[in-house]
Amino acid sequence: MSDRSDFGTFLVGFIVGGLTGAAVALLLAPQSGEETRTTIKEKAIELKDKAVETYDEVYDKAGVIASDAKVKAEELKKEATKTVGDLKSKGQVVLEENKAKLASKLSRKDKSLDQDVSI
C-alpha cells in the first residue's frame, strides 16, 4: 500500500512540475503576447481533454473494481453461509450423541440406584 501512495505522490509531483515548467516556458518564450495567449489557451484545452479522459478511465476502472468486489463478497457470503450450515449440522450431531450418552448414563445410574434400594 505504501508503494502505491509513494507512486501517487511522485505522479502528482511529476504532473505539477511538468505543468509549471510548461507555463514558465510559454511565458518566457520569444513570442508576442497574442501568440502566447493562444498557445496557453490551446494547451489548457488539451490539458482539460486529457484530464477528462483520465477521469473517465479511472471512473471505469473503479466501476470494474467495485463490481469485482461485489462478486467476491457474494462468493464469500455463500461460502460462509455453507460453512455455518455445515458447522450447525455437525454441532447438532454431536449434541444428539451427547444427549444419548447422557441418557444412557442416567438410565444406568437409575438402575443401579434401584438395585441398591432393593437390597
Count of domains forming the chain: 1
Opening angle at CA 35, ends 31 and 29, nearest 5: 30
Answer yes or no: is 74 within a domain.
Answer: yes
| The predicted structure's pLDDT at residue 119 | 52
| The predicted structure's pLDDT at residue 10 | 83
Answer yes or no: is 43 within a domain.
Answer: yes
Answer yes or no: is 2 within a domain.
Answer: no
Answer yes or no: is 21 within a domain.
Answer: no
Answer yes or no: is 4 within a domain.
Answer: no
Range of the domain at 88: 31-118
Answer yes or no: is 63 within a domain.
Answer: yes
Answer yes or no: is 97 within a domain.
Answer: yes
Q: What is the pLDDT along the chain (119 residues), one digit of tens a residue?
A: 455 667 778 888 888 888 888 878 777 777 777 887 888 889 889 989 988 999 999 999 999 999 999 999 999 999 999 999 999 999 999 999 999 999 888 888 767 666 655 55
For 38-53, letters b (16+ CB in 10 Å) and e give: eeeeeeeeeeeeeeee
